[in-house]
Every structure is written in C-alpha cells, then in structure tokens.
Amino acid sequence: EESSCRMSRNVAMESEKGESPGVRSLEGKITQSDPPTLAFPSISTSDFKFSHEKAAEIIVEKVEEFMDKLGNARLVLVDLSHGSKILSMVKAKATEKNISSTKFFTFVGDITKLNSEGGLRCNVIANAANWRLKPGGGGVNAAIFSAAGPGLEVATKQQANSLHPGNAVAVQLPSTSPLLNREGVTHVIHVLGPNMNPQRPNYLNNDYDEGCKLLGNAYSSLFQAFISIVQ
C-alpha cells in the first residue's frame, strides 16, 4: 500500500529565491506591521478522518506551490493543541523543504481567538466546512460560526448554498461581526474537504486516490481565494 500521496515536485525549486520577506508585496506597498495573513485549520483530518500523514504531505506541497504567488502575505496552519500530530508533521516537512518560516508557519491556538489570545493578527481565516455551509456540527465549523455571529450565515447564503468537496467560497464578514471587531478578521473562506468518515455525506470509502486529489484541490481553491482577497 502506498504510504503517502505523490504529487508534482516541479515546484520545489521555485521557493528558493532568497527574497527578504516584508520588503516587497503584490502592489509594491510596504506593509511590514500587519502582512495579510491566512490562518487555516488542517482540512478533513478530524471529523472527516482523513489520514494525517497524507494530509501533511498535501499541505506542504500546496504551500510550496503558492509560495511565490504570496507577495508579502503569509500562511499559518493552526490547531488547538501543542500535541497536534498534524502540526508537527507539517512543521518537519516544511523545514525539510526549506520553506520560508516567515511566509509559512504553524501556530497553536483557537482559530477564532488568534489576535485576542495569541497576539497573531490574521485578516482571513479558513473554515473546514460541511457541504451545506451550515453552522454547528462540531469542530472548527461550529467554533467559527459561533464566534462570527449570525451575520456569517446570512453572508454565506448570499455567496453559495452548498459546496462540492475540493472547493472553497470566500465570505466577507459583516461590519457587526465580533470576529471582525475583536480579531480583525475580514473574511472567512469555507473549504469542503474529502470525507473518510462513513457517518458523513460524500463518504469516499477509503479511496485515497480520489481523496488526495480532492484535498489538493481544496487547498488550491483556498489559497487562490486568499490571494484574490489580498491582492
């Protein structure tokens, strides 16, 4: 059995350009204090039961692929606990590949309290959503909908009613949202990852060929949506 997903490797060399972070941005602006930052959870690896090893491989491949499209923006993988397996695997793989630790790093904390509790300002956060884009259900989805207030559900409905696995949709938070006012989050990007939990919709029955493809698509959609917001 294949132990991990093999993805294209031809992006590996491009991240090593030796640029100094914070000096240039997409529009040539110098924004050294608060660079645009996307905080994202590890999609599919908890309730959706996707392999942590395969997910870590895909996260690092996709981060690497988007490095040179980021300008001065940053990507941050977040999880709740210091014991997070996914964070340590991703950290090790990113170090191995010499990915710039100012443009991509991991962070332990609640994604809805990064600024107030962690002192990390992220203008965009990603949500590991369900296909109906509904609040609740546990995990990061329940936490984000609850912290954002009812305005997130309303604003989400104006963008989309559902998502297919592998896709993402960006939603701007209304001006009344506590997530905006307390945390400085302007957008939530909902992402639907592949599901390996037989008790959830779109169950893939251990088909990791399809699962890895969909998780790769999910991160591409997420990072592309983030870049569209900040450029």
Query: Which residues are at the interface with ligand AR6 (CB under 6 A)?
Result: 41-48, 78-80, 86, 110-112, 128, 130, 137-141, 143, 193, 200
For ligand AR6, the closer of residues 36 and 194 by Cβ is: 194
Q: Give the shortest CB-23-to-ligand AR6 separation in angstroms.
A: 30
Strand order in the sheet with 187-191: 104-108, 74-79, 37-41, 124-128, 187-191, 168-172
For ligand AR6, the closer of residues 22 and 134 by Cβ is: 134
CA count, 13 A, side-chain hemisphere, 106: 22
Closest-approach residue to ligand AR6 (CB): 139
Q: Give the shortest CB-106-to-ligand AR6 separation in angstroms.
A: 11
Q: Give the shortest CB-226-to-ligand AR6 separation in angstroms.
A: 17
For ligand AR6, the closer of residues 55 and 180 by Cβ is: 55
- Cα 188 to chain centroid distance, Å, stands at 10
Q: Give the shortest CB-171-to-ligand AR6 separation in angstroms.
A: 15
Smallest CA-to-CA distance from 104 within 62, 44, 159, 45 is with: 62
**Secondary structure (3-state) at 14:** helix
For ligand AR6, the closer of residues 21 and 139 by Cβ is: 139
Distance CA 216, CA 61 (A): 9
